Structure 1
Amino acid sequence: MDSAIRVTTGYAGLDKILDGLRIGDNVVWKVDSMADYRYFVGPFVDAALREGKRVIYMRFGDHEPLLGASPSIVVHQLDPRRGFESFAARIHSILSEEGHGAFYVFDCLSDLLSAWATDYMVGNFFRVTCPYLFELDTVAYFALIRSRHSFQTIERIRDTTQVLIDVYNHEQSFHIHPLKVWQRRSPTMFLPHRKEGEQFLPLTASFEATDLFSSIARRDTENAQRHLDHWHRLFLQAQELAGDPAAQTEQQNMVSHICRHMIGREARILELAAECFCLQDLLDIKTRVIGTGFIGGKAVGMLLARQILLRAPDYHWEDHLEAHDSFFVGSNVYYSYIVHNGWWPLFMRQKKKETYFSAAAELRGKMLEGSFPATIREGFHKLLEYYGQYPIIVRSSSLLEDSFGNAFAGKYDSFFCVNQGTPEERLAQFEEAVRKIFASTMSEDALTYRQQRGLDQQDEQMALLIQRVSGAYRGHYFFPELAGVGVSYNTFVWDRGMDPQAGMLRLVLGLGTRAVDRVEGDYPRLIALDAPLKRPHKDQADTRRFSQRSVDLLDVVDNRLHTVSLLDLSRQGVDLPWQLYGVKDLETMRLLENRGRKGEQVWLLTFERLLADTPFASLMQRLLKTLERTYRYPVDVEFTVNFTPQGTARIDVVQCRPLQTKGEQVQVEIPEKIEPERIFFRSEGNFMGGNISQPLRWLVWVEPEEYVQLHMSDKYEIARLIGRLNKRLADRKDNPTLLLGPGRWGTSTPSLGVPISFSEINNFTALAEVAFSSGNLMPELSYGSHFFQDLVETDIFYLALFPENNKCFLNDAWRRAQPNALEGLMPASSRLKHVVKVYRAPKEGLRLMADVVSQQLVCFLER
């Protein structure tokens, strides 16, 4: 680039002051009106066209067009209301397409405020666009309306641009005042100049300058809020409205306006927000926001749930809800973090199809090491001062998370901060958690999820929800008594007499991590809310096998999340109402006594007395149904429960989202009589996802006996092989495929199942977990977990087979008689053909059918 090449502004006198423009210059005009900006744009464009330059007009403002229609000018119509990322990415794409040497005119940047609400993001936009224009050897014009931006934003733009000029219309004369002219100077360059005819004359007399700036200062005094960010001015205006009882209509309009900038974009969520939040509610939320922008789906769901319950006319929920004490990090902080660290070009590269995953991996690594802007760090510090050394959890709360149709369950990270140590140590721990959550937006699972659901080009900013951990100190541990997941619609009814509409809970002792995740060796208690004492298993042996064995809690001495066995917790004398939550495991106690450990208390967490002797189950059902009525949709809730000394349940609804359900409306009639030789398997219950009648073209089977004998490295290789089959073979439209394997799919412990990631099974039509008791490979009925949310959202049907159960039949002889197609499909993996079997369905076809009402499940050969 030859930056010494002069470019004319169209005004010879102005060229003289500035020593001309240079290739690479971004020129920002601070004006009082669009007429003033237009006065300088026209001659610049005319001169550029005379010199044969390509002129590009970026049209996005609310004002009248700056340039008339002309075949010589390329106009790009842009919509900033689609979000900062979409807008900035589209402009980046246009600049790339236009290439080097074009001249640009941008509409007034101040008009972006109506779309983004905060001029900090205007500064971010300029910081990512200006350097790219400079690289492409362009000259570009921008404008700012002087009174609409904070001093901080003006300074950020000044630091980035090459030329910054103040324009004043004073006493019927134009005055220009160059504030920055990069790599040029003269004795009078930075003085104010008055336009006289074609000349711009410097105000060399002090009285003239005093007269001009005194007039400007008086105007500034009349607008005392001019140095505030537009975001803060918006809420000052809202505060004034909230104090005016007569301004009901204006208040409701302001509610809608603020919701569009702080709550979300999805129509159904905005409708709920306008219904549930008043203006004062939104002002209260704003006092707890660090930065600007949306608070994200997880935060909105939590706040909506609280409002719905507290406003419910038929029950006094104040007696049962913990007080809300959360903070929020606005979604714009996510972009500011990327811009502040100079990663925007890499972020744009990640949006391209060919570098979607590779650039994300590079960006993810960088995001784990970045620094935060000073103003954001100050907000973090104040937040930690507020919580003191009380444990908190930093949770993802992205724009698309927890919406209707997109739960993003478990796709983004959340982290507990036990919050012990010096203020500096606690701040470092908190910032590390924020970095990890921001980086999780670039994980392969999250990217695959977005891509599969057509969201890969949508704005997906990451806001944060910071919550005080619910619970109490018990010795040097901190945890809630109970936690879990509740769903208002139960597609996993395991008894014909159960009503799916009644809802269900997954309940655990301690932190809720064991309720939302599949944890090796542990099972939460499943509770059908219309029959809370009925278990999905039959005898005491199953009760012992399918129960919770360990508790997740926070260790304030070690300053970390910790897992403690129930036996150790009981042995340490931790104060808990054990008899309310469990029954003594007499058989295990006898075994311990025989080994010399007499008197040790061993508990099985059945929650029998809690469910039989307290109103807990009916209270949770009432809560779920109250939320469902207002959502007009089934809901999925994460909660904690603590009890007062009087035995009153105090519930903290930490998350609420629309439940992803599938198939319950499909009418299925399973044939009454199917010849045994035509049946591959048949079972009663143990499936999730509603009714189904699905033809199958392929079966993929992982041989249990062979799998358990593999070395650890080969067990991981089996997972990778399944992933390759997922991409090569499985297709829900053309090649519907059933995947069957021993134990738990997706476990982190290969001894319990195949350790696939979700992106390695996302194309399968149905997923089966097969019990193999001799290898201790047992399915987990994970309804309500993040894993289940993934299955439902991806439209994957789930089933569990227990061949040793008399209500399950598996025709293994038929399966073994089928030819294995693995070697032909994957020659490089032929050494594993004794473990992984791939069967093409016979020409007459295979069909998988399930009926929720009768709880019948069957896979059979069609005629």
Structure 2
Amino acid sequence: MLLARAVLRRDAAQLDARLEAHDSFYVGTDVFDTFLIHNDLWWIGRRQRDPAEFLNEVDEARRRALGGVFSPSTRRQFEEMLDYFGEWPFIVRSSSRLEDRYGNAFAGQYDSVFCSNRGPWQQRVAELLAAIRQVYASSMSEEALRYRERRGLLGDNEQMAVLIMRVSGTAGGRYFHPHAAGVGLSVNPYRWNPRIDMMAGVIRLVAGLGTRAVDRSDDDFTRLVALNAPDLRPATSFGEIARHSQRRMDAIDLLEDRVVSGPFAEMVRDNPDFPLDLFTTREDWDKPPFLTFDRLLAETSFVADLRTMLERLHAAYRHPVEIEFALNVLTDGRYRINLLQCRPLQVRSLEGTVSVAPPADVPRLVDAQGAVIGPSRIIRPDRLIHVVQSRYAELRQDDRVAIARLVGALNRASADRTLVVLGPGRWGTRDPWLGVPVSFSEINRVAALCEIVAMNDNLIPDVSLGTHFLNELIEADMLYFALFPGRSGNRIDEEAILGRPSRLLELLPHARRFADVVHVVDFEPGSATLFADAERQQVVLACA
């Protein structure tokens, strides 16, 4: 964050008047190392670098970290920091050696913790120390260790620093939040319209805290903005735009001392300075407004400022970057952008092309039109995992979770395969009623992932660029696409797929009760081809 701000001061001085000054403290890795030693965690950390035993003590490491103590001198410095902030909310963010360097995304592997910073002084001190302990504990978690193992980083010495930052925003009644926040990528892997320049960048914009931009919100939508064509959006008609606009927002509840989500209209009701005219649109005068950010994008220099910011940072880093930012609008209509984070974005390629059209005389198992993330490419799969929507819809919640674990087991059993996975609703959802609740590690060997939009009539694919889940897909160079049954250009020949022998029970004999839910097809070498055209937003899976 500090480096990125220095780059902008040097290379984009015209933005200086619109950049909000940062207000943060950096807690170095020496404090982390001392904490490990004082709380008997040092040798556990060393053993976690051994591939043979790295998961053996994760529970003990978490227990010791969350119950750890700081030296008296360190605690005094934290207390002085708290006196500086007064009762203003702050966030404790990880800033580790491995996550900040080039080569690996570390998307969502380490915790960030908001602190409302209200109440008696001793309570606020305890809240700060608990937040730092939580960030430290996350560096030794099973999820983080498995990620490091997958990326060949287990033997590296992870050094955890933290940033303690004043939260950007103001209080509107009981709720504290910035007016808007978001994630920006200096390259755009989702070209839903030929006018979009993939090198111009993209932002994902939300009202309120940026937590809804970096985490998938299965109950809501966000505004996706291609920076060279901000008027374009995946939804086309006015009705679609209204249905697919953000309805809920996140804020710090100053009474309950936690981050909460609630209906947008209710959260801003007591905030007379919220820029409703700039952020919202009405379909009719007698209907409530909904969030579009149209005037912000069309009538201010916000888009130009974000594009300049991303271009300058991309050039300075000599690499695609990802930023997090907050936005606050002043009462006179001017605005301030707070650059909260800048890290290298792990993108393997954006320059894929498909020069060969799908053959007209070869049977097609899948035709999909409408949402493709990733560069164009041709994939020659030799295994297909299909989660049958009609059967999945009949399952109880615990069985849906079991299906996610089953997909993970098949993923691990397919290390030497080129794998395509089809399934209903959202992959990676936290809500089993909306899709298949896998973690990324359970699909990390997949070449192409398809979301069949059939779980809910109002559920569209969550093209959630900038979220931790999508960043991991992009880092892995995985193709994502959606299939809309019943919509023109979309079709799945489920009869042909299910008519082929399933290898599920050969691979996982214990999975017999789910044999009609998960179908595993192996293709003869060279018989199946997946054609993905990102410019036309079209995917075809053909099989002789």
TM-score (normalizing by structure 2)? 0.95
Match of 1:798 among 480, 483, 491: 480
Q: Which structure has the larger Rg over C-alpha atoms? A: 1
- Secondary structure of the structure 2 residue equivalent to 1:500: coil
Which structure 2 residues correspond to residues 556-595 of structure 1 after superposition, within 5 A? 556-569=254-267, 572=270, 575-584=273-282, 586=284
Shift of 1:524: 1.0
Deviations 1:830-862 (A, max 9, x none): 10112111111245422223233443322222x
For the residues of structure 2 that align with 1:797 and 1:854, how far apart are their CA atoms? 15
Contact 1:394-1:467 at 8 Å conserved across structures: yes
The residue aligned with 1:646 is: 332
- Equivalent of residue 504 in structure 2, options 817, 822, 831: 822
Residues 1:680 and 2:382 are matched in the alignment: no
What is the alpha-carbon distance in structure 2 between the residues aligned to residue 748 and residue 713 of structure 1?
Answer: 13
Match of 1:701 in 2: 386
Query: Are the structure 2 counterparts of residues 565 and 670 from structure 1 closer, same or farther at C-alpha, using a change threshold of 3 Å?
Result: farther
- 1:776 Cα offset (Å): 5.6
Partner letter of residue 9 of structure 2? L
The one of 123, 139, 153 equivalent to 1:455 is: 153
- Report how far residue 659 of structure 1 moved: 1.8
1:814 and 1:332 map into 2 onto residues whose CA distance is: 60
Give yes or no for contact 1:405–1:793 (8 Å, CA) kept in 2: no
SS in 2 for 1:409: coil
> Which residue of 2 is the match for residue 164 of structure 1?
none
Report the CA distance between 1:459 and its aligned residue: 0.9
From 829, 833, 841, give the equivalent of 2:515. 833
Show structure 2 runs of 5+ residues with no match. none
Counterparts of 2:271 and 2:105, CA distance in 1:
39
Distance (whole Å) between structure 2 residues aligned to residue 454 and residue 820 of structure 1: 33
Q: How far apart, in 1, do the equivalents of 2:293 and 2:41 lie?
A: 51
Pick the aligned partner of 2:8 from 306, 309, 322.
309
Mapped partners of 1:356, 1:578: distance in 2: 51
Are 1:692 and 1:851, in contact at CA under 8 Å, matched by a contact in 2?
Answer: yes
**SS state at 1:508 partner:** strand
Give 1:475's match in structure 2, choosing from 158, 163, 173: 173
**Counterparts of residues 664-813 of structure 1 (less than 5 Å):** 664-671=350-357, 673-675=359-361, 678-728=363-413, 730-731=414-415, 734-774=416-456, 778-813=460-495
Preserved contact between residue 248 and residue 263 of structure 2 (Cα < 8 Å): yes
Q: How does 1:169-568 map to 2 (within 5 A)?
A: 302-312=1-11, 315-568=13-266
Offset from partner CA, 1:422-455 (integer Å, 9 cap, x none): 1210111111111111111122221111111110
8 Å CA contact 1:749–1:755 kept in 2: the answer is yes
Secondary structure in structure 2 of the residue aligned to 1:502: coil
Determine the C-alpha separation between the residues in 2 that align with 1:799 and 1:426: 46
Matched AA of 2:500: Q
CA-based RMSD: 2.0
Name the CA shift for 1:682/1:579 in 2 (closer, same or farther; >3 Å).
same
**Is the Cα contact below 8 Å between 1:550 and 1:565 reproduced in 2?**
yes
Q: Residue 849 of structure 1: which of 531, 534, 537 is its match?
A: 531
- State the percentage of identical aligned residues: 41
Q: 1:642 aligns to what SS in structure 2?
A: strand
Residues 604-619 of structure 1 aligned to structure 2 (within 5 Å): 604-619=290-305
In the alignment, is the contact (CA less than 8 A) between 2:203 and 2:225 conserved in 1?
Answer: yes
Deviations 1:207-251 (A, max 9, x none): xxxxxxxxxxxxxxxxxxxxxxxxxxxxxxxxxxxxxxxxxxxxx
- Give 1:787 shift: 1.0
1:126 aligns with none
Q: Is this contact kept in 1: 2:435–2:455, CA < 8 A?
A: no
Preserved CA contact (<8 Å) 2:202 2:224:
yes
Aligned partners of 1:670, 1:481: CA distance in 2, in Å? 47
Deviating more after overlay: 780-789 vs 562-571: 562-571
Deviates more, 1:682-691 or 1:718-727: 682-691
Give the letter aligned to residue 303 of structure 1.
Answer: L
TM-score, with length taken from structure 1: 0.61
Q: Residues 704 and 572 of structure 1: is their aligned pair in 2 closer, same or farther, counting only changes over 3 Å?
A: farther
- The CA deviation at 1:756 is 1.4
Structure 1 pair 744/775, CA: closer, same or farther in 2 (3 Å)?
same
**SS class of match (2:245):** coil
Cα distance in 2 for residues equivalent to 1:374 and 1:792: 44
Q: CA deviation at 1:351?
A: 2.6
Whole-angstrom distance in 1 between the partners of 2:221 and 2:70: 40
Distance in 2 (alpha carbons) for counterparts of 1:858 and 1:315: 47
Deviation at 1:541, TM superposition (A): 4.1
Q: Quote how far apart the aligned CAs of 1:545 are.
A: 3.7
Contact 2:434 2:456 in 1 (8 A): no
Give the match's secondary structure for 1:567. Answer: helix
**For residues 332 and 848 of structure 1, do their structure 2 counterparts lie closer, same or farther at Cα, with a shift above 3 Å needed?**
farther
Number of residue pairs aligned between Structure 1 and Structure 2? 544
CA deviation vs aligned residue, 1:460-498 (integer Å, no higher than 9, x gap): 111101111001111121110110011111121100121
Shift of 1:572: 5.0
The AA in structure 2 aligned to 1:660 is Q
Distance in 1, matches of 2:59 and 2:445, equals: 23
Q: Distance in 2 between matches of 1:819 and 1:572?
A: 61
Distance 1:787 1:439 in 2: 21
Moved more, 546-555 or 808-817: 808-817
